[in-house]
Amino acid sequence: MNLQDKVALVTGSGVRLGQAIAQKLGQLGMRVVIHYHHSEKGAKQTVKLLPGDESRHLILQADLKDVSAIKELVRKAEDKSGPISVLINNAADFFPTPFFSTSEEEWDHLFELNLKAPFFLAQTIAEGMKKRGEGKIINMVDVSADRPWSGFLPYCTSKAGLSSLTIGLARALAPEVQVNAIAPGTVLPPPDHAEMDLSESVKRSLLKRIGLAEDIVQAVEYLLKSDFVTGTILPVDGGRSVY
Ligand SMILES: NC(=O)c1ccc[n+]([C@@H]2O[C@H](COP(=O)([O-])OP(=O)(O)OC[C@H]3O[C@@H](n4cnc5c(N)ncnc54)[C@H](OP(=O)(O)O)[C@@H]3O)[C@@H](O)[C@H]2O)c1
């Protein structure tokens, strides 16, 4: 698929990995729909990082836990920017949930945002992709989807669901649409991540470092440029998954 001037929606692109991915898509010549939930300031910074005129891109707010807000987001994006050719399901939440004290609310929150939202975003956008005969979807999963951490079970199992959804969507949307996932190891740890956990992540990887945003961005670029890869979950984890 020729990416030049095509429209890409990157969820959660006002901060961190989403921002870095949006920047790369802009560098690849795409027009980017920068979605945010609370990080309006970050979204405005993102648009400034993109090459070319700011009017090529669009900033939109939505709470992706609400399916009607997802439909409204896609409607506004396509009305203003044109049909979406690339969807990057990046937005997610991540926090510890000790097994015996995990609440139903925490479970529902993580599943609604990390799994249900990517499903309905794909459902809303992919019909047009299929009709137009091309499209790419990339889901951000996690190295912990296959070997869940006991203190983060709702997060890890929501990402395992997203991993399974990636393969299911690849089958449902072929041959017009390619659907893949990236499974990062520790990349840009959250600011409150304990120092000890971080050295543990490094110790448990083959390449003995945590990842950089650039490591993930390169994987996104590869998956967008390839026209013969679908239904794959690409670990970008310094060898953590095979340690
Ligand atoms: N960083 C890592 O080391 C790592 C490792 C493995 C997997 N991943 C995956 O990679 C992706 C990006 O990671 P990250 O660390 O950059 O994420 P992050 O810093 O935690 O950012 C999460 C994003 O999700 C958005 N978001 C949160 N709640 C939302 C809601 N209700 N509706 C809409 N958007 C919402 C946030 O938007 P606002 O800020 O606008 O509120 C933010 O942009 C995630 O899917 C994550 O699971 C990351």
Beta-carbon count within 10 A of 57 CB: 23
Residue corresponding to tokens 């609440």: 103
- pTM, entire model: 0.98
**Cα(19)–Cα(213) distance, rounded to whole angstroms?**
9
The pLDDT of residue 192: 72
Distant-in-sequence, close-in-space partners of 68: CB < 8 Å, separation ≥ 6? none
- Atom 2 of ligand 1 has which residue's CA nearest to it? 187
Residue 46's SS3 state is helix
140 strand-pairing partners: 182
Report how far ligand 1's centroid is from the alpha carbon of 131 (Å): 30
C-beta separation of 190 from 146 below 8 A = no
Note the CATH number of domain 7-242: 3.40.50.720
- Atom 43 of ligand 1 has which residue's CA nearest to it? 12
Q: Is the CB of 91 under 6 A from ligand 1?
A: yes
Q: Which amino acid is at 123?
A: Q
Token pair recorded at residue 166? 């990636």
Domain ranges of the chain: 7-242
Q: Is the CB of 12 under 6 A from ligand 1?
A: yes
User: Which of 9, 15, 233 for mutating ligand 1's site (highest number of atoms within 8 Å of CB)?
Assistant: 15
Q: Is the CB of 15 under 6 A from ligand 1?
A: yes
Least confident interval from 2-11, 114-123, 168-177, 188-197: 188-197
Q: Is the CB of 94 under 6 A from ligand 1?
A: yes
Q: What is the pLDDT of residues 43-67, one digit of tens each?
A: 999 999 999 899 999 999 999 999 9
Q: What is the pLDDT of residues 120-172, one digit of tens each?
A: 999 999 999 999 999 999 999 999 999 999 999 999 999 999 999 999 999 99
C-beta separation of 86 from 8 below 8 A = yes
From the number of C-beta atoms within 10 Å of its C-beta (0-12, 13-18, 19+), residue 133 rates as: exposed
Report how far ligand 1's centroid is from the alpha carbon of 214 (Å): 16
Q: What is the DSSP letter of 224?
A: H
Q: Is the CB of 32 under 6 A from ligand 1?
A: no
Q: How confident is the model at residue 189 (pLDDT cuts 50, 70, 90)?
A: confident
Report how far ligand 1's centroid is from the alpha carbon of 93 (Å): 6
